[in-house]
Structure 1
Amino acid sequence: MSDSPSAPPEHRRPGPVLHVSLGLALAIVVWGAAAGDSLSRAGSAALDGITTGFGWAYLLVSLGFLAFLAFLACSRYGRLRLGRDDERPAFRRLTWYAMILSAVMGIGLISYGVTEPISHLAEPPHGLAQPMTPGAAVTAMQFSFFDWGLHAWGIFAVVGLAMSWSMFRKGRPGLVSALFRPLIGDRADGPAGGAIDVFAVLATLFGTTTSLGLGALQINGGFTALFGVPDSPPVQFAIIAVITLLFTASALTGVARGIRFLSETSMGLGALLFVFVLVVGPTIYLVDLYVQSVGRYVSELVSTSLITPASGDLDFMQSWTYFMLAWWLSWAAFVGVFLARISRGRTIREFVVGVLLVPSVVFSLWFTAFGGTAIHSDLIGSTKIAVAAAGDENSAFFATLQSLPLPTITSIVTIVLVVLFFVSGADANTFVLSMLTSRGTEHPPAWVLALWGAVTGAAAIALLAAGGLESLQQMVIVSSAPFLLILIGVAVGFWKDLRAEFLPPDVPPPVAEPAATQITERTPESI
C-alpha cells in the first residue's frame, strides 16, 4: 500500500461516507465516555436480541462460505487469475503467508492462544466433557480450532476474492459498495452504495477497536507479570495511546516496505517462540493432543457448525462462538482489501488454498503448543493456569510461560510480538478505513489517515471505560449484524461476476459495467 501523492486530487477527496460514518463513530465514543453504563446496557440488550433471534445466521453463512470456496477451488473458476491473465504475484509465497498471518489475526495468537483452550478445559463447551479431564482437553482444542480455523478464514477469503476480482479484474474502486455493481448496477454509486460503505466502515472500526482493546489488556498483563505494573484502566489507556501513535505514524509514512518487515520479523519471532515451547514443553503429549483434536475437529466440522443455544447455552455462544464469528465478519472489509492488495496475480485456486488452509494449520499448531502446554501442566497438577485465566484472562499466556524455562526472556519476546502484531495490523486497518471513506482511492489523504487512527484509539478507550472486554464483545456483535447481510450480497455479486466470465462472446453480462477505474501499475512497492 503506497501513500504516493500522485493520485488525482478529485479521487483523493473524501465523500459523504466519511462524514456519516465519522459522525456515528464519534457519537458512540462520546456516549461511552459520558455515560458508559448506559452504553453497556444498550449493548447488552441489543446483543441478547441479535444472538437469540438471529445467532443461527452467523453459523449458516460461515458454513455456506466454506462450501462456496471449496466449489470454486475445485471448479473451472479456480484457474482464473486475480488480475490480468498474464499477471504474476508480486510477493514470494513465504512472504505472502507471513503478511496474511501477522497483519490479519496475529494478535489473536497471544490473546487467545492459551486463554481459550484453558477456559474450555475448565468449562467444556455445551457440557460435552467432564471439566479438567483428558476428554475435556480434546474438546477444548476442537472448539479452539473451530473459532480460529476454517470458518474465520472462509469469511476473509470470500471478501478478499470478491475485492481482488473487482479491483484488479474489473477495474472498480476499492469499496465494498463496488462489489454490488453486478447486482444493482449504477445504484452502487449512489445512496444505497454509500449506506453499504458506512456499514462496512463501522464494522471495520469496531473490529479494530476490539483488537486494540484486547492487545492493550494483553500488554498490561505482560507488564504486570514482568514488572509488577498495576493491571488498571489508566495503564491500558496509556498503552492504547502509545500504540495508536505508532500505527498512525506507520500508516502516514507508507506501509509497502514496513508491513513486509513487520510481518516477516513477527513471524520469525513467533516461530522461535513456538519451537522453544514445543521443545521444552510436553512434546509427546502435544503431538498426541494435536492428532486427536484435529481428527475430532475435521470429523465433526459440520455438526459443530450447526450447534445452536437451543439447549440454553446462550452465554457460551455469546462469549465464544457468536463473538468470534462476529469479530471475523467485522474484519471482513479490512481483510478483504488487504488480501486483495497482496494477492494480485494469484489464481482463485491458489488464493483459496493459501488463505483458507495454511493459516488454519498454523493457528491450530500454535494453539496446541501453547494451550496444550497449559492444559498438560494443569492436568498433572503443577500449575493452576485455568484458575488464573478465570480471574484474569490476560494472565493465562504469561502464566504458561512462567511454568517453562527462561520465563523473563520469553515474556519479553511475547510483549514485543504483541506490539509488532498491533502495529502491522492496525496500520493496514487504518489505511483501509481511510480508503473506504475516500471514494476507494488507493492513496487516501494523510489527514484522513491521521483522523481514523485517532478515532480508533478513542473508540477503544471509550469502550474499555464503558465496560472493558464485555463492551468490546457486545459492540463487535452488534455492529457486525447488518454487515452479515452485506457479505451475503458480496458473495452473490461475486458469483454473478464469475459466471459472466464464461458467457459466450455474443451474450452481454447481466449488468453493464461503468467505465473502469484506472488501476496503477502494480509493483511490490505499490502494494
Structure 2
Amino acid sequence: MKNATPVFYISVVISLIVVLWGAFAPGNLESFTANVTSQLTEKFGWFYLLLFIAILLFCIYMTFSRFGNVKLGRKDDEPEFSRLSWFSMLFSAGMGMGLVFWTTAEPISHAFTSSPVAKEGSDAAIQDALKYSFFHWGIHAWAVYGIVGLILAYFKFNRGMPGLISATLTPLFGEKLMKGALGKAVDVLAVFATVVGVAATLGFGSAQITGGLAFLFGTPNNFTVQLIVLVISTALFIWSAWSGIGRGIKYLSNINMVLAAVLLILLFIVGPTMLIMNMFTHTLGSYFTDFFEMSLRLAPLNEENRSWINGWTIFYWAWWISWAPFVGIFIARISKGRTVKEFMYSVLLLPSLVCFIFFSVFGVSALQLEQLGIATISNFSLETSTFGVLAEYPLGTFMSMLTLIVIALFFITSADSATFVLGMLSTNGLLNPNNSVKITWGLIQSAVAAVVVYFGGTQGLQNMLIIAALPFAVVIILMGASFLKDIQTQVRPQRK
C-alpha cells in the first residue's frame, strides 16, 4: 500500500477483528456490546449532555470573538469550491441518508410509539415529536462537526500540519509524543470511530433501500437482498471516492441536493401545506424556548423517561461524535479560504435549518395521516415508514421512486466522503490518498456494516456507536484546549 502508515495497518486489523467476531460469534458480540452500552449510557449520560453544551458555547465564542475574522489558510487563499458546492458537500457528508431514514420514522415514534414526555397520540406528544426531532438533528449535531472541522482546518492550512487528529494535539503534548505511539493511538481511535459511525449509516441506508424495493416492487426484504444492495452501493461509492473530491464527490453531492429539494417541494405541495407551515413555525419557537431544558434533560428520578433519553438523545450524541472525525476532516478539507465566522455560520445554522425543513415536511405529513386515522404509519417498520407515507399522497409512486434515488445518492456521497477521509487519516494526512488505500477502506466499511446488521440490526448499530464514541469525546475536549492554546499565541489582540 503506497504511503500507508502504521495507523492504516493497525486500524485494518482492529476492523477485521470486529468483522470476524461478528461473523463467527454474532451472539457473543451482540451480548458484549449490549452490556457495555448499558453501562455507558447509565454512567456517562451526564457527560454527553454537558459536553455538547460546552461544544456549542465554544463554537459561538469562536464566531463572535476576535478569532472570527481569521482566514483558514493564507491571506491570499481563495475558496476552492463555490458556496453551493461547498454547502452541498458538507451537508451530504454530515447528514446523508440518515436524514431521509429518520425524517418520518422519528416523529412518528415520538408521537405514537414512545413519547419523550406526554401521553402517546395526544396533541402534546405530536408537538413534542417534532420539537425533539429538531433538537436531535439541529445545532448540537452541527456544533460537533464544526469544532472538529474548524480545528483541523486551522492546523492544516494555517499551521502547516498534517491533516490528522493527532497533529491538532501537538501544542498540548509536543511533537515527539504526537508523532510517536500516543499520536498513532489517537489516529487509530479516530479511524475506528469513523468506520463504526459510517457503518451504522450504511446499515440504515441499505435497510431503507431494501425496504423501499420490497414496498414498491415486492422484492424480498431480508438480509440477502440487503447484502446485495450493500455490494452494489459499495462499488459505486468506491468509484466516486476514486474520482476525487473535485469530480465524483462534488458532482454527486450537487445532484443529490437538487433531487432532495425536488422531493421536498413535491411533498410540501401535495401534503398538508398549511399544517406544515404552522407546525414548522410553532416548533421553531418551542425549540428555542425549551432549548436548554432539552439539552440538559436526564430524568434521574423517572426510569421510563431516562430509558427514552438513553435510546434517543444519548444515542444521537454518540452518533454525531463517532461521525465527527470523518465529517470534521472532510469539511476541513473543502473549507480552505473561508473565515472562521463564515465557516461557523455555514456549518451550524444553514444545515440545521435544512434539517428542520425536512422534518417539518416529512414528519408533519406522516403525523397527520396517523392522527386522522388515514394510515397507521407507526405499524410500518422504520425503513418503510417514509414509503408508507408517500403512498397516501398524490404522485406517491413517483415520489417513492425519487426517494429511493435520493437515499442511494446520500448513501454514496456519505460513504465516498468517509472513504476519502479514512484514506487521509491512514496516509499521514495526504490530501489525495492512494486509490488502493481508499478501496480497502470502502470494502472494510461495508463489511462492518454487513456484520453488524446481521448480528444486531438497528440495536447492534446503536451499541457499536455508543461504545466507539466515548473515548473520542475525550479527544474532542483535548483538541479544543490545544486549539485555544495555539490560536491565542498566533492571533494577537488588536490595539485600540
Using the size of structure 1 for normalisation, the TM-score is 0.91
Q: Give the conservation status (yes or no) of the 8 Å contact 1:99–1:260.
A: yes
Matching of residue 138 in structure 1 with residue 123 in structure 2: no
> For 1:486, which of 462, 475, 493 is the aligned residue?
475
User: Partners of 2:459 and 2:314 in 1: how far apart?
Assistant: 13
**For this pair of structures, how many residues does the alignment match?**
491
2:382 is matched with 393
- Compare 374-383 and 193-202 and name the one that shifted more: 374-383
Matching of residue 152 in structure 1 with residue 144 in structure 2: no
1:473 is matched with 462
> For 1:446, which of 418, 435, 439 is the aligned residue?
435
> What does the per-residue CA deviation read over 1:343-402, in whole Å, with 9 as the maximum and x for residues that have no partner?
1111101111000000000000110000111001111111111222xxx11111101100
User: Partners of 2:32 and 2:14 in 1: how far apart?
Assistant: 15
Matching of residue 165 in structure 1 with residue 154 in structure 2: yes
User: Partners of 2:309 and 2:119 in 1: how far apart?
Assistant: 19
> For 2:13, which of 23, 28, 46 is the aligned residue?
23
1:74 is matched with 64
Give the partner amino acid of 1:215: G
C-alpha distance 504-151 of structure 1, shift in aligned 2 (>3 A):
closer
Structure 2 counterparts to residues 326-405 of structure 1, below 5 A: 326-388=318-380, 392-405=381-394
C-alpha distance 280-340 of structure 1, shift in aligned 2 (>3 A):
same
Residue 384 of structure 2 aligns to a residue whose secondary structure is: helix
1:504 deviates by 8.3
> For 2:292, which of 298, 302, 311 is the aligned residue?
302
1:58 deviates by 1.2
Structure 2 counterparts to residues 248-287 of structure 1, below 5 A: 248-287=238-277
User: Partners of 1:195 and 1:167 in 2: how far apart?
Assistant: 20
Q: Give the conservation status (yes or no) of the 8 Å contact 1:124–1:136.
A: no
Give the partner amino acid of 1:265: I
1:225 deviates by 1.0
Unaligned 5+ segments in structure 2 are none
Could you list the structure 1 runs, at least 4 aligned residues long, displaced by more than 6 angstroms after superposition: none
User: Partners of 1:382 and 1:441 in 2: how far apart?
Assistant: 54
2:223 is matched with 233
1:503 deviates by 4.2
1:309 deviates by 4.3
1:244 deviates by 1.0
1:189 deviates by 0.8
Q: Give the conservation status (yes or no) of the 8 Å contact 2:243–2:249.
A: no
Q: Give the conservation status (yes or no) of the 8 Å contact 2:113–2:378.
A: no
Q: Give the conservation status (yes or no) of the 8 Å contact 1:124–1:140.
A: no
User: Partners of 1:152 and 1:294 in 2: how far apart?
Assistant: 17
> For 1:320, which of 304, 307, 312 is the aligned residue?
312
User: Partners of 2:86 and 2:244 in 1: how far apart?
Assistant: 18
> For 2:235, which of 239, 245, 248 is the aligned residue?
245
User: Partners of 1:134 and 1:314 in 2: how far apart?
Assistant: 22
Matching of residue 208 in structure 1 with residue 179 in structure 2: no
> For 2:209, which of 211, 219, 231 is the aligned residue?
219
Give the partner amino acid of 1:376: Q
1:111 is matched with 101
Residue 130 of structure 1 aligns to a residue whose secondary structure is: coil
User: Partners of 1:223 and 1:67 in 2: how far apart?
Assistant: 43
User: Partners of 2:338 and 2:212 in 1: how far apart?
Assistant: 39
C-alpha distance 124-36 of structure 1, shift in aligned 2 (>3 A):
closer
Q: Give the conservation status (yes or no) of the 8 Å contact 1:124–1:131.
A: yes
Residue 474 of structure 1 aligns to a residue whose secondary structure is: helix
User: Partners of 2:419 and 2:183 in 1: how far apart?
Assistant: 21
Q: Give the conservation status (yes or no) of the 8 Å contact 2:150–2:332.
A: yes
| CA-based RMSD | 1.4
Using the size of structure 2 for normalisation, the TM-score is 0.97
> What does the per-residue CA deviation read over 1:246-284, in whole Å, with 9 as the maximum and x for residues that have no partner?
111222232312112111111111111111111111111
Q: Give the conservation status (yes or no) of the 8 Å contact 1:81–1:346.
A: yes
Give the partner amino acid of 1:30: L
User: Partners of 2:235 and 2:61 in 1: how far apart?
Assistant: 43
Q: Give the conservation status (yes or no) of the 8 Å contact 2:66–2:493.
A: no
